[in-house]
Structure 1
Amino acid sequence: MTDFDSHLSRRAFGFGAAALGALAALPAAAQNAALSAEDRAVVAQAQAYLQGLAAAQGTFVETSGAVRREGRFYLQRPGKMRFEYTNPAGLLVVSDGSNVKRYDPRLNTFRQVPLGSTPLATFLANNVRLDRGVVITRVTRMQSGAFAITARSQSRPNDGSAILAFAGSPLRLQEWTITDAQGVRTRTQLTTMQPASGLAASLFQLRDPTQRPRRN
């Protein structure tokens, strides 16, 4: 997530446009008409899982090229998520339900973009839909029951793609990989994930630490 603009913008994340609900002119059934009945069942399974994911916490590892980052995450749908990096220490990415904010203490920089312009909106939406505004180009099913879904934006197909990987019994989202328009891949693995309750509201609040109070 360096480069907040390249990793959290709609331009870099082709999937982000779909998350916004930027629906294509074609009806959803036509967008994914090439999928088999088995593939469509898998997509429905993934959608049901994401819809039922109300609150969770765990750890993650993010890799892009030779760069590796890790930390903890907290999720509370709809709209709220927190990526709390331990490496590099202090880096924060927080969605408060309206905006996604990023603070890097090493550079003393703070930025924010609307949640709707990021791919996080897909996971955090009140109603998760994988059959609108997105073209599912591939469903990979394995004998173990694990599966992966490859998708790109219907309206901005050249902006990149996303792969969501699910496995386990009970099913859980294990990782996602984003490939941007330049071919740069960022992989986020959820190394642990468990249901959470009573998450503090303060986890999903982030004021601009670079703004100092004005003196009268």
Structure 2
Amino acid sequence: MNRDLSRRALLAAGAALATLPTSALAAPTKAALAPVDQALVDQAVAYLQGLSAAQGRFRQTDSRGTQTTGRLWLQRPGRARFAYDPPSGLVLVSDGRVVAQTNTRLKTTSRVPLAATPLALFLAKDIRLDRGVVITEVRRFGDGFSIVARDGRKQTPGQIELRFSDSPLALTGWTIIDNQSRATRVELIDLQRVGSLDGKLFVVPPPPKAATARP
């Protein structure tokens, strides 16, 4: 699998909670947020900061409407696992430095740095939405709100929308927009805080061995 495809898959999962080229939109900086919007951002940051370990399920819908489901485990800082239900065969694992995408059916593995994926936003030791991230919009809807952000350094062009419920305050999912305006939506299902998780969940497979030419 080539690097671009790997980054695209990692942005979509994000369930991590993978990076793909996306259109950079001109937008106001965080300083331009209205006080009521800033208050929601502060609530979201406090919630994410307190989410040390969690597990649940996710439903992913791509731009063509195709849905896949799976289980997820998150443990900050830096670790996450997304295991897609059969027949997908896809597993995404972050060990705090690298995010590996493994296709168990095709027996392939690709790797990208954690810092190059949206997972870094969720899994940082200190959640910061005022450093290296530009918040372009805070949206409200019936039972919650969302925060739209992009990489302020433009090293990872793209846009991510984080969605939260109001009561109780909880992360309910996110949407990634790619450079062709294609949206991948991830919905979190029954995300629950836990005390700790088995470290074996976050072991990244070794890179594939290079083929050895026969004499």
TM bracket (short chain): 0.7 to 0.9
- Segment of structure 1 superposing worse, 156-165 or 104-113: 156-165
Aligned residues: 197
Quick one: distance in 2 between partners of 1:168 and 1:174? 10
- Segment of structure 1 superposing worse, 166-175 or 154-163: 154-163
Quick one: distance in 2 between partners of 1:135 and 1:58? 29
Quick one: distance in 2 between partners of 1:206 and 1:33? 38
SS class of match (1:159): coil
Change in Cα spacing, 1:172 to 1:134, as seen in structure 2 (3 Å) is same
Change in Cα spacing, 1:108 to 1:191, as seen in structure 2 (3 Å) is same
Q: Does 1:6 align with 2:21?
A: no
Equivalent position amino acid for 2:109 in 1? F
CA contact (8 A) 1:175 1:188 kept: yes
Aligned to 2:99: 100
Quick one: distance in 1 between partners of 2:6 and 2:87? 14
Normalization by structure 2: what TM-score?
0.82
Change in Cα spacing, 1:68 to 1:209, as seen in structure 2 (3 Å) is farther
Aligned to 1:140: 139
Change in Cα spacing, 1:115 to 1:50, as seen in structure 2 (3 Å) is same
Quick one: distance in 2 between partners of 1:157 and 1:151? 14
Change in Cα spacing, 1:147 to 1:171, as seen in structure 2 (3 Å) is same
Change in Cα spacing, 1:111 to 1:143, as seen in structure 2 (3 Å) is closer
Aligned to 2:40: 42
Q: Does 1:68 align with 2:100?
A: no
| 1:75-107 superposed Cα distances (whole Å, 9 cap, x missing partner) | 110000000111434321000111001110222
- Equivalences for residues 181-200 of structure 1 within 5 A: 181-200=179-198
Equivalent position amino acid for 1:5 in 2? R
- Equivalences for residues 123-162 of structure 1 within 5 A: 123-142=122-141, 144=143, 146-156=144-154, 159-162=157-160
Quick one: distance in 1 between partners of 2:189 and 2:161? 17
Deviation at 1:57, TM superposition (A): 0.2
Quick one: distance in 2 between partners of 1:173 and 1:13? 23
Identity within the alignment, %:
44
Deviation at 1:172, TM superposition (A): 0.5
Give the unaligned 5+ runs of structure 1: 16-29
Quick one: distance in 2 between partners of 1:209 and 1:157? 25
Give the unaligned 5+ runs of structure 2: 11-17
